[in-house]
Structure 1
Amino acid sequence: MKALKTYNSKVSSEKENICFLVKDILKFLCDSSDAINEEILFEIKVILNELLQNAVKHGNKDDSSKSVKVCAGITASNSVYFIIEDEGEGYDCGCICDEEGGPDEMADICDLKESGRGMLIVSSLCDKIRFNKKGNKVIVLKKLK
């Protein structure tokens, strides 16, 4: 996967930074590609908001001395990717995603705790989602068309 353009940022783990990051990444994407329609932009906004909220709240436990790294890029195959990494202890993604990276067919969204629904929504909006072994880094791929 070769990136045509990339975006990189590292911010302190504060909720106030999430809105700034989402807006900045969306601006980067819109400036970098004319192929993104409003529906895709909305889905990207949902994905980013959820992943960044998780990194700040669950990963770094709202500890502003910790940081969140964000990398985004547009590929030659007209996809966008996001890599979000926190400094937390990690997340057991096996409870939400199967080994293929998609939503667990056995999971009923109504039975999930409030905090588990976001990752199921993110999984449904992405074309691919992967976690590192520790569970503190997520990589998401979304086609722009």
Structure 2
Amino acid sequence: MTKEIAARCESETGSFIVRFEVTFAADINSISPVVDGVMKLVSQMGYAAGKEYAIEMALREALANAIIHGCKNDPGKQVQCCVACDEENGMLIVVRDPGEGFDPVSLPNPIKDQNVYSDHGRGIYLINRLMDEVTYKQGGREIHMRKY
């Protein structure tokens, strides 16, 4: 994990403490070990009780998007994940990939018309529904997800 990503985690509110950070090869098989590490942290934080499912599902979607869309399934590329938290401001999860980025506003609505029957395209929609606050930075190469 670069100091730049950790600094971004910490600078969101100024009071976050980075609790977990990892850089890993863009391989779908890496998702579960990363999620397991984050969820271990979540289970240790009493204020996240009852929010585990939402956090896990959003993180899985964000990591999959970074690997599939940002890194184009190239295991030679790296994905970064940083988790920072404090009791007052909740949890901030940052996932970053080296891809070209994207504009989330340009994505089709996954629950409208023919999109309902598509076999993909629901990840961003789910993340936005599961987390309390979602922002995109670095031209869409970085997603910041907050859970209070």
Smaller-chain TM-score bracket: 0.7 to 0.9
Map of 1:101 onto structure 2: none
Matches for 1:1-145 after TM superposition, within 5 Å: 1=13, 2-31=15-44, 33-37=45-49, 39-96=50-107, 107=109, 109-111=111-113, 112=115, 113-143=118-148
- Which whole-Å deviations, capped at 9, do the CAs of 1:8-55 have from their partners, x for residues lacking one? 110010011100000011112222x12222x41011110010000000
Question: Which structure's residues are more often helix, by fraction?
Answer: 2
Q: Considering only aligned residues, what root-mean-square deviation do their CA atoms show, in Å?
A: 1.8
Identity of aligned residues (%): 23
Q: Show structure 2 runs of 5+ residues with no match.
A: 1-12
Runs of 4+ residues over 4 Å off in structure 1: none
SS at match of 1:53: helix
Q: Show structure 1 runs of 5+ residues with no match.
A: 97-103
**Alpha-carbon distance, 1:123 to partner:** 0.3
In the alignment of these two chains, the number of paired residues is: 132
**Alpha-carbon distance, 1:133 to partner:** 4.2
